[in-house]
Amino acid sequence: MKDPIWKQQFTPEQVNSLRKNTINEVLGIELVEIGPDYITARMPVDHRTHQNYGMLHGGASVVLAETLGSVASTACLEDLQTQMAVGVEINANHLRSVKSGFVTGTVRPVKVGRTIHVWSIEISDENGRLVCVSRLTVAVVNQKG
């Protein structure tokens, strides 16, 4: 088993408790698992996440991807009092449509450096079929006092 990459320890329940009044609450995104080098979350495919053709909106997939990468970067920070992780760039390739159920995203590191983190996020449907692949770049910056 790999050594955990996380410098901050937390549970899915702790992260989910921070959803109130955020886009994650609106879209129903919830963390479900934290592994040694990955984090998994799920999101419903319903009226909140549909586009006008009744399929999962690509933007909702991007929100799920950025949420996963942001949580992962925050967990890799040395000091939550002086540092914060901010998204710099995200891309996504939408590979398959989904009309209902849940999609599950898993984030894994590409590179976790001192000032830049790069994450790969794969989003799959309930049958394990790949729906979206995304890459997120996050900058580690000092918090302004």
Dihedral (Cα; 5, 7, 120, 85), 10-degree rounding: -160
Separation between Cα atoms, residue 84 and residue 58, nearest integer Å: 27
Q: Does residue 66 carry a catalytic annotation?
A: yes
Nearest to 30 by CA among 84, 104, 130: 104
CA distances from residue 131 to 42, 48, 66, 81, 128 in whole angstroms, order as listed = 13, 18, 15, 36, 9
The phi, psi pair for 138, rounded to 5°, reads -125, 135
> Which one from 13, 25, 66, 126 is the annotated catalytic residue?
66
Separation between Cα atoms, residue 116 and residue 136, nearest integer Å: 10
Separation between Cα atoms, residue 141 and residue 48, nearest integer Å: 32
Active site residues: 66
